[in-house]
Structure 1
């Protein structure tokens, strides 16, 4: 494929408010924090940045509030070349946030959907032309499920490839799964969707998702790489890469965006999975989900090594 691949990401935009403290407070207690960071996030925005840095023509469909966080999130996307013309700004709803407490003991996260909860089917209808021009439509589950279903149906109506990252994990209706070309869960998400026990056979669980209507299942396996199963084909596997891990926050988003980019570029599933693994490996070598997303040149240099 000679032309630039085109990816539409439909999903969430959050400001991650990360507070570092020695330990979490007990009930009713106040503790002093050490640092606070405001980091652009949201699975949708992370994947859009990753896609754009790889060189895809990337559009984002979503929602933010008319506040400082919303402005900063949009600015971060535009800085990396993401087209934000389909991101609506709401006057009376705040931008979504994730409040994250980091301590040596554990991490605690509270997510407030905010404007993300108002990304509606009407927004999909309003921007049908953006979807019509795409090669791949990339979805996650941090916006209302009815919007995800509506977006998948619209994409299929225009003959587009639908890639779904089913996170955060939840049960999904068969009507949605039948609209999905490629689903990319991690192992725990796979077992939930397949209604299988946690120690079930991996391939059997992936086949159960194929039986529910999905065309291709890709399961990310952390340090064990990834497995993929296409309808009518044998199970394939891709190994992980040994790198100096700094921050795993954006690994899954990098993998999904890398796969969408490669697929939109005309690669077969196995090739796209291998490419996505390299994108994810590079992403964890830097701090911050969006800040860590690699460029195509970095991936090519990594592949050459």
Structure 2
């Protein structure tokens, strides 16, 4: 049973998805076709993933007062996410992302930010932390991230952050000072490679979880390094798979799973999340994840290679 509630702080958006054969080169052009609009946003995706997997979640975010804002909040609330701390910004459009998707399921994104991109640091009032046993943030707004870490420290709540290359500022001194105050840091393969130049992970820093796509995921802390193999799937859309992984990993850890089990659980959840267009459209339930893991465990071992 999950212990406490996961508080997600950050962005809520509408993903506008466009199918392309390949991404355009600089000053180039490719043809595309619209696939549709789906709810997204890193914080919203993590919250929805954890909620569907059985972890109660609360979301602190911002939307515009347009139909898109009402649509995404209604979907989150309908799934059970507590959106009572989300605000609607009058006279403003909801933040959107343009998602260019190839037929292999890989993608590239352009954030079309509006004033409704991120909540204000002042929105993190003391009651927002009530009942939280973990906080998840990004570095999309450095001021918001600092405020979230400060408020979580006051409340004695651990903090996980998802860090992307796109969010690294030109002058990263403030980020480097913030990293040791985290408990857990989610990065992808590219960000993990860049992290050693930005900051030297050590025994006093956060545990690191690196998502490796089809190669699985790796966990590192001052005492151990663990790896969970990937799960072979034919993805339809990988948008939000990393967010699903984070929500699944946190929900598993909050339910008492050991690190190795949480890695395997999150890998399975992320693989299932790629089954349909849209970051939230195919987010799995716990029975679905458990069933996939059972099938993998029951599968016969691969035949040895004849290559010598």
Deviation, structure 1 residue 192: 2.0
Shift of 1:38: 1.1
Deviations 1:250-302 (A, max 9, x none): 21011100011111112232322222111112112333210111001111111
Distance in 2 (CA, whole Å) between partners of 1:104 and 1:304 is 29
Distance in 1 between residues matched to 2:205 and 2:116, nearest whole Å? 26
The answer to which of 79-88 and 115-124 deviates more is 115-124
Which residue does the alignment assign to 1:259?
Answer: 249
Gaps of 5+ in 1: 197-204
Instruction: Tell me which residue corresponds to 1:99.
Output: 98
Which residue of the partner structure matches residue 68 of structure 1?
67
2:268 is aligned with 1:269? no
Matches within 5 A, 1:126-137: 126=125, 128-137=126-135
- The separation in 2 between residues aligned to 1:228 and 1:28, in whole angstroms, is 39
- Residue 161 (structure 2) pairs with residue 159 (structure 1): no
Greater shift in the superposed pair: 160-169 or 48-57: 160-169
Contact 1:153–1:179 (CA<8 Å) still a contact in 2? no
Structure 1 match to 2:229: 239
State the distance in 1 between where 2:214 and 2:25 align.
Answer: 34
- Aligned CA distance change for structure 1 residues 32 and 301 (closer, same or farther; 3 Å): closer
1:85-234 matches, cutoff 5 A = 85-102=84-101, 109-124=109-124, 126=125, 128-142=126-140, 144-167=141-164, 168-170=166-168, 171=172, 173-195=175-197, 208-210=200-202, 213-231=204-222, 233-234=223-224
Q: Provide the residue aligned with 1:304 in structure 2.
A: 294
Distance 1:148 1:22, change over 3 A: same
Greater CA drift, 31-40 or 17-26: 17-26
Distance 2:84 2:9 in 1: 13
Name the CA distance, whole Å, in 2 between partners of 1:39 and 1:108: 16
- Tell me, in whole angstroms, the C-alpha distance in 2 between the residues paired with 1:239 and 1:29: 37
Cα distance 1:7–1:189, how it changes in 2: closer, same or farther (>3 A)? Answer: same
* 1:13-28 map, 5 Å: 13-20=12-19
Deviations 1:165-184 (A, max 9, x none): 11244146233112210101
Q: State whether residues 250 and 292 of structure 1, in contact with CA within 8 Å, keep that contact through their aligned partners in structure 2.
A: no
**After superposition, what is the alpha-carbon deviation per residue over 1:68-115, rounded to whole angstroms, capped at 9, x for unaligned?**
111111011112111110111110332101123457799664312214
Q: RMSD in angstroms over aligned alpha carbons?
A: 2.8
Q: How many residues align structurally?
A: 289
Return 31-40 or 3-12, whichever deviates more.
Answer: 31-40
Give SS of 1:146's match.
helix
Give the conservation status (yes or no) of the 8 Å contact 2:107–2:238. no
Task: Calculate the TM-score normalised by the size of structure 2.
Answer: 0.84
